[in-house]
Structure 1
Amino acid sequence: MIPDRSKIENFFGQHEFDVDYVACASDVDGCSLRELLDLADEESLALWEGLELGYTETTGHPLLREAIAGEYTKTGPDNVTVCGGGAAEALFLLTNALLGPGDHAVVVAPAFESVHRIGPALGASVTPVPLDPGQGWRLDLDAVRRALRPATRAVFVNFPHNPTGALPTRAEFEDLLALGAEAGVVVVSDEVYRHLEFDPETTLPAACDLDERAVSVGVMSKAYGLAGLRVGWLATRNQALVDAARAVKDYTTVCASAPSEILSLIALRAREHLVARSRRIIRENLTHVESFFGQHADAFAWEPPRAGMLGFPQLLLPVPVEDFVRELAREQSVLLLPDSVFDMADNRFRIGLGRTSLPDALDRIGEFVGHRVGSLA
C-alpha cells in the first residue's frame, strides 16, 4: 500500500528550512527542554533523571496513558494508545483499521492529507464534504448524511479545524456524533487543536466521550508546543477498533521514544501552564493579523478563525496564489501554504498564528504586497 505523495510534506520539505519565516506553521513555537523540565513534578523528574533508553510499552507508559486520559471524562487509560509518530501515525493506524477494499469513508474538506490519501490506497472510496466558506466554514450535517452509503465505515472530522479555524457549536457536534451512531459508522475526530479555543466555554466535548464507538485523536505538537516529541494518541472505548489499530501499530513504530514519553508526561501534568502559553502567543498574533488584513483589504479577503491557530484567507490580487507564495518566499524569505496542497483552487493560503516571529513576517508580506499593488496600478 503506497499512497500518493503528500503534497503538504513535499511542500515543506522543499521550502521550510530555506526561509527566514514560516508564516504558515501549524504549531506553536516549541518549548525548550529546560523550560519543560522546570515544570516537572518530583515523580516525573525522577523518571526523567533515572531514564533507561530501552524499549517502552507498545501501548504507552502507564503513567502517560493515565495523564492523557485526564483529557476525557468517560475514556480511561486502558482506552488510550500512545503513538510514537504523532497524530499522523494515529490517523494512519485508524484508517488501516477501519478501511479496506470496497469500503467507504466521508471526510471533511479541506483536511489533513492522510485521510484523503490513505483510504484510496487501501482500496476504499472517499467522499469529501466541503466546509462552506460563505457560512463561516460551517459543516453541513445534511451533506454528511447524504454522503453516507451502506459501505460507509467512518466519518473523519477535525475541529478546531485545519486550515480554516472553523468550530461547530456543541449542539452541531453532538448531532454529528448522533448521526454517526445512528448510521453505525465510526466518527474519527482529529482533536489536535482542542484547548486552543479563544473562549474556553466553546471547547467541544471529546468525541470518544460522546459515543463509545467514536475515537478522539490528540497530540503533543499543537496546544502544548512540543512537536519535536512526536507523541500522539488515539482514545476510544471501541475495543474492537483499539485491537485492530494496535495490531497495525506492531508494523509501524511498535512503541514510542522513551525520552519523549516522560517529557510528554511532564507536559501533561503541567497542561494548564503550557496551554496558557500557547493561547497567549495565538491571542497576541491574532491582534497583529487582524490589523494586517484590515490594512490590506484590497489584497486579501480575511475570515477570522473561530478557534485554533490557523486562518485561510483568500488572495484577491490577479495572480495565482502558487505564484504569489513562490515569489514571496524568494523575495522576502517568508513562507505561506497555498490551497493547492489541500486539493483546492480558490486562491487561498494558510497562515499560522503560533510563531512569535509572525509580526516580522507580516511586515515583509506587507512590503511585498505594496510592491505588487503598486505594479498593478
Structure 2
Amino acid sequence: MPAQPRVLVVGASLAGLRSAEQLRSAGHTGPITVVGAEPYLPYNRPPLSKDVLADQRATTAADLAGRLAFRRRASTADVEFRLGEPVASADLADGVLVTVAGRSLSYDGLVVATGLRPRRLAVPGPLDGRHVLRTVEDCQALREAILTRPQHVVVIGAGFIGCETAATLRSLGHAVTVIEPAGPPMARVVGATLAAAVQRHHERTGIRFVIGAGVIAFTGTDRLTGVLLDTGEEIPADVVVEAVGSVCNTEWLAGNGLDLSDGVLTDNQLHTGSARPTVATGDIVRFPNPLFDDTPRRVEHWSTPTDTAKRAAATLVALLAGEEPAPVVFAPVPSFWSDQGDLRFQSFGSPALGDEVRVEEGNPEHLAGGLLATYHHAGRHLGTLAINLTADRQRELRAAFAAPVPTV
C-alpha cells in the first residue's frame, strides 16, 4: 500500500490548529506535522490586550499560554507539533523546508499559516521600556513593567490593539497617552465621524489623545524617559506600547515565485499556484472575496483562521488526490469584535470598503447606550458596526451578510 501523503502546517497559532482539524474533517488520514516558532501549543491571543493584561496576579508566560491554550479535537490527537523551531527557508518545488536549527522536513502538501508579527518603529533612542503586544511573552513583559506602581504609559497607534491596550491600562490606574499620526482612533475602519466619537468617549475616561503627530525619537539613556514628536513636544513615558501595525511572516518563502508583496497571494480556493500542493490560511493569506469584489485582500479578523482553514483543507485534500478543488465560491463574512473599557464593538462585512456611513440607531455622543452603523459604497451595503448591542441583535446583523453565493 502506498504511503499516505504527508502534510506540513507551518504556523502553530489558531490558523495552524484549525488547518490540522479541517484536514482531518476533509478526509486526510495521512501524517500531519504542525511547525511553530513559539514554544507553546496554539493559544488564544485576543485576551492578551484585555483581561489577561488586567490580571496582575504573579504568573509566567508559560502559565499564560497554558491558561489560554485551545482545546484540541480528538481527531487531531495524532497530529505532531514541532514547537520553538521556526522555519528558515522553503523549496516548494522539491517539497522541503529547513528550520533555523538546520533540520530538513519533507512534505507532499503544505499549509502556510505563519501569520504576523508586530511592526516596530525605526526611530532612535533606548530600547528598554518599549513593548509590543502579540505573544504571551509580550504580555508578560508588559505586565511586569506596570506591576509595581502607576506608570506614565504612551501607546503609539490608535487601532484596535492600541485602543484596547490603552483602555485596559487606564482601568488599572495608569496615566495613558495615545499617539496617532493618521487621525482619530480606528478611523480607517469605522469612519471619521464615529472615530471622533470613540475618541471623545475614551477621553472622558482620562485617556489623552495626540492626533496628527508622528514619533521621531525616544528620549533617555539606558532606558526611555519620553517620546519626542515631530511637533517638538516631548511626552514623558515610563512605558511605551507600539501598536503600529503588523508585518507578514513570509521571509521563509522567498525565492519560490510567490507574490509576497502583502502576505501570500492565492486564488479564491486559497491555492498559491505552486506545482506541489500549497495553500495558505489565516491573516497571512491575500485572496479575492466575491462577497465584495475581485480584489485580493488580507483580513486580520478573528473569523479568518477558521473560515480559511476549512476552504484551504478542502482544496489541499483534492490536490493531493490529483483532483481539482470543488467549484464552490469561497465568500466568507469577515467579522471582528473589540472590547475597549465599557464599549464592545462587533463588526460584520467590511466597513473599511464603504465611503458612506449611516447611523441607523443610537447617538454617537452616547456610545455606551448602543449604536448601529452601516457602511455603503455605490448603494451597496458592505459592512455593519454594532456597539453595545445584544447578542441576539448581533446574530441578526451577521445573518444579513450570510446570503449564499452561487457556484461557479
Report the TM-score, using the length of structure 1 for normalisation: 0.32
- Asked which structure has the greater CA Rg, the reply is 2
Higher share of residues assigned helix? 1
Higher share of residues assigned strand? 2
Of structures 1 and 2, the one scoring higher in RCO (CA 8 A, sep 6+) is 1
Report the TM-score, using the length of structure 2 for normalisation: 0.30
